[in-house]
Homo-oligomer: A and B are copies of this chain.
């Protein structure tokens, strides 16, 4: 059964899947500002829209648009600003 995950009172929802590419989620974010945490190392790719991301120790946000990816270390918190409904693919690494 495909699992639906909800975060931030339903402002972010994702669908989990697993295939040859690995352990993945595809998700949608409402416009807003979020603080996410990672448990595993992750790679996020913007599917549509844009994500502005600030990693720990960074003083500015970097904007990622459709097709662009960024990596997230395990065990961090990071900031995301979203200006319109946007979708992402997240790949989790062991």
Hey, which bits of chain A sit against chain B, CB under 8 A? 1-2, 4, 10-21, 24, 26-28, 30, 47-49, 66, 84-87, 89
Contact = CB atoms under 8 A, between A and B. Distances in A.
Given A26-B47, A87-B26, A89-B48, A11 B20 contact: no
Contacts of A66: 21
Copies of this chain present in the complex amount to 2
B48 A28 contact: no
B2 A10 contact: yes
B24 A26 contact: no
B89 A20 contact: no
A87 B49 contact: no
B85 A87 contact: no
A17 B15 CA distance: 14
A53 to B, nearest CB: 17
